[in-house]
Each structure stands twice: as C-alpha cells, then as structure tokens.
A and B are shown apart, each in its own frame.
Chain A
C-alpha cells in the first residue's frame, strides 16, 4: 500500500525541511544575513499555516452544517457539489462580493479593527501547534503559555466589536463574552497546568514527545483535567451550550449584529479557527499529538483533532444554551474547584509515584 502513495506525502516533514532549506539557500545566495533568512522562512511558514487554516475552515463549516442537519433529521446543504461539499466556497464568494456596510454611528477605527484583531488572534495560535513530526512553525519553549496569552486578544476583539457597534444587543454580547471568557480562562489554565506538572515543560513538541505510546497519553493521568479543559475551552470560543455572547434568540447576533460582508466573514472564520485549535490543543496535550502507528504523523494529528471537533459539534447540537447565572455559577462553583482538586491530586500522584 505504501508503494502507491508518493513518498513525499508519507514524509511530509522531510518535504517541508527540503523546501525550507532550498528557500534558505536561495536567500543566502542573494546575500541576506541569517536573521533575515529566518524571518523570511518564518513568514512563509506562517502564510502556509494561514492557507491551511482557511482550507480547514472551509471544510469545518460544511461539516458542521451536515452534522447539525443529520442530528436534526435533515439533509443540510445538498445542491452545490457532492452532498453540498462546495457550498461553503459558494458562501465565501458571496460574502466577498457583498458591499462592506459601515453603519453611520459606529466608532469607525475600532469597528474596523475588531474583526481583524479577532482573526489574527485565532490564527496566531496555529504557530505553535505541532501538526506532525517536525511540522511546526516555531517550537517556542513557552508554547502552551503563548497559546493561553495570545487567545486573550480574541476577547478584546469581541469587546471592541460590541462597544464600537453602538447597538445595545452588540454591547450586551460584548459584556457577556468578556465575563464568560475571564471566568473560564481560569479553570482552563489550571487544567493545562495539570498536564504541565507531568511534562515539566511548556513546549508543545516536548509534550508530544513524552506521549510515545497509547498508554502514555496524558488523558489517562489527567481525566479530570481533560474534562475541565474541554468544557472551559468550549466556553472560551463561545460555542453552545456557552454561546451567550451571540445568543441568536435573545441578542439578534450579539457582537456581530452590525457586521456584514467580509468583516462578518472574519468573525465567522475566527470562530471555526478557534474550534479547530481547541481540538488541536486537546490532541497535543491529552491524546499524544501526532504520535501513532502505521499512518504518517500529520494524518494521525488530523484524525485525532477532527474526532475532537466532531465531539464539540455533537455537543453543540445536543445541548440547550445556559442562562447567564448558570454560566457563572458553573464556572466558579464547579469547574474551578474541580480544576483545583485535579491540581492537588496531580501533585500527590507525582510526589508518590514519580
């Protein structure tokens, strides 16, 4: 079977390495210093990751529509392409062509920058995600901490959108998102800390390297941490049952109410990018990342991550939305104590067995 597949696809990391070296050779040939070469290499890598993210989003939007439809005993998009597979591309083209409307009374600069900031924050996470063996833009030694800190810009983007829109529904959405994200960031960070206590490192590549086989996956040592992480992360990216910031039935569309065309598309894109990155981080931290037998590493990573995405979609189309007070109560009275208990248990485990 392996003979049928081109070698380069099986060993994508070698291919990437070769291309990176070729680029470096060309740049050095022009006479650029090593710092410039690294900078240009990283920029190209970032562009590749952004392109990859865009393709992933196109797929995820279609997948979400299909899954939601089948959960609700419908068919979903069927007309464009095989089972509506090209529907998202058609929608994207439509959004690109739309007139970019800026309402009269918005705060223009902030209204303009809010979707860009949200989108950039969502993409920036992908820089430190190991997509496969050797397939990472930059293996920062603060990896997971970088992800935690860069995602906070998403909230600022949402707040900017909510405030600048000059609309009470948008403002309420912004409020809700700020309160929600601040509350759920704490248990999420604590849940990740449980894994970090085992790994003794923040680097994403190192964390994957330590989970060589199925039995070494951190989910077996961190079951509580995993559950807390998944719940908190779902809340972080405003998905049902935590989609209060854009609750359609109460707030029209929350912070995106006044947005249209390309700006709306950027919020939409960021939402699905966050969905994928949450699952990718869970894969890296709890399910051994790209480690797996037979298949190439990047394929394992995609399989595990897409299963995670499927579970998140499943949850979204199964549970109703929480109330605001339930949301806060759940974060502070249940998730936070659970995360603390997990930390103490982890500490005890390490002290006793390691």
Chain B
C-alpha cells in the first residue's frame, strides 16, 4: 500500500473517532479538544488532495480562531467545564427520527450524484489564483461577505457594549429581560 492511501486511512480513522468523542464525551472541554483534532484531520485530508492552501486556511480559521474562541467560552463558564454533562433529554426519539431521516437523505443524494473525477493535475499555487478570482470575477460576493462580517462585528459590539444610561433605562422599561441574560451578553 502506498503512503497516500495509508495516510488517508489513518486520517479518516482519526476524524471519525475524534468526531465520535466530540458528541459522546461527558466533559465539554474534552469535546472541544476532540473537535480540534477532527478539524485538523480534515486539514490533513485537504493536504492529501493537494490543496495545501485550503488546509492552511482550515487550520488558521477553524483551529486557530473558532476553536480557541469556543475553548475560551467553555473556560469562562466554569460550572460547565468541570460538571458531568447530560447529553440526552426527553426528546431522544424525535431527535433519532430526524437524524435518521437526514442520514437517509444524505446517503441517497450521495448515491445519486455522479462525482466527477479528472485526470488533470491539481493547480499549483492555488492561493494566488484564488486571490485573483476574489478580486476580479467574484469581487461582488467577496465584498458582500466582507460587509456582512463587518455588520456582524459591529452588531456584536453594540450588544456587548455596556452603555450606563441605556442599561439603567432598560432596567426601568424592560423588566421582562432577566438581568442575568444581559450580563451574559456583556460577558
């Protein structure tokens, strides 16, 4: 067996096992760590597919930014981190039904879709071509996504920012919002 196949098998095993631990681990911090492992495995698959730019972006964004923020949130909520969490509730049958249905739909569509393969060599220097396309052909979607992200950023700031006057006004008028929830938004 050549090393590429071996590496693929190892990575696939890693991703599946790590993903299983993400949802089955009783400790939410462990779940977060296994999620990072799974995402890193996906980056490894990208490398095997000769898409190193995508792999680097995957690690940079998912492992470097999103996962760290998640761990940060987990660490800030101390009681979640050290408690043994319950992962099931009374909605198990419904959830099982929905996920089984989703699985059937996904398997069916996977079965039906012809997956195109090409003998052409992978593009070298994909990052450069990607950048060129972003700034020429796809400049409008690119800019729209940028504006969307900026809006989300400003929105998060507005929600999180504690304006003393607005807070006191909100205390008087909107008593239906529990104080704890506002505090959580501030955190």
Contacts and interface: CB of A to CB of B under 8 A. Distances in A.
Interface of A: 33, 35-36, 39, 107, 109-110, 140-142, 145-146, 148-150, 152-153, 155-156, 159-160, 162-163, 171, 174-175, 178-179, 181-182, 185, 200-202
B45 to A, nearest CB: 15
B65 interface: yes
A44 B151 CA distance: 49
B156 interface: no
B129 to A, nearest CB: 12
Interface stretch (B55-63, B92-100, B166-174): B55-63
Contact of A35 (B2, B52, B125, B127): B2
Given A141-B125, A156-B68, A110 B30 contact: yes
Interface of B: 2-4, 27, 29-30, 33, 36, 52-53, 55-57, 59-60, 63-65, 67-69, 71-72, 75, 81, 124-125, 127-128
Given A152-B60, A156-B63, A160-B33, A178 B71 contact: yes
A136 to B, nearest CB: 15
User: Which of A148, A152, A153, A175 has the most chain B CB atoms closer than 10 A to its own CB?
Assistant: A152
B52 to A, nearest CB: 5
B59 A159 contact: no
Q: Does more than half of chain A's interface fall in helix, strand or loop, or is it mixed?
A: helix
Nearest to B72: A178
Nearest to A160: B33
19 contacts: A35-B4, A36-B2, A109-B30, A110-B29, A110-B30, A141-B124, A142-B56, A145-B127, A146-B52, A152-B60, A152-B64, A159-B71, A159-B72, A178-B68, A178-B72, A178-B75, A182-B65, A182-B69, A201-B128
Contacts of B4: 35
A152 B59 contact: yes
A145 B33 contact: no
A149 B63 contact: yes
Contact of B56 (A36, A146, A174, A175): A146
A122 to B, nearest CB: 15
Closest 9 pairs between A and B when the two form their complex, measured CB to CB: A152-B64, A149-B59, A149-B60, A145-B56, A149-B56, A142-B52, A142-B56, A35-B3, A39-B3
Nearest to A109: B30
A341 to B, nearest CB: 18
Contacts of A178: 68, 71-72, 75
A162 B76 CA distance: 13
Given A145-B60, A149-B59, A156 B52 contact: no
A141 B65 CA distance: 23
Contacts of B75: 159, 162-163, 171, 174-175, 178
Given A142-B52, A159-B68, A178-B75, 18 more contacts: A35-B4, A36-B2, A39-B3, A110-B29, A142-B56, A142-B127, A145-B57, A146-B52, A149-B56, A149-B57, A152-B68, A159-B72, A162-B75, A163-B75, A163-B81, A178-B71, A182-B68, A200-B128
A159 B52 CA distance: 27
Given A35-B2, A178-B72, A201-B128, A145 B67 contact: no
A202 B67 CA distance: 25
A201 B53 CA distance: 12
Contacts of B67: 156
A200 B57 CA distance: 18
Contacts of B3: 35-36, 39
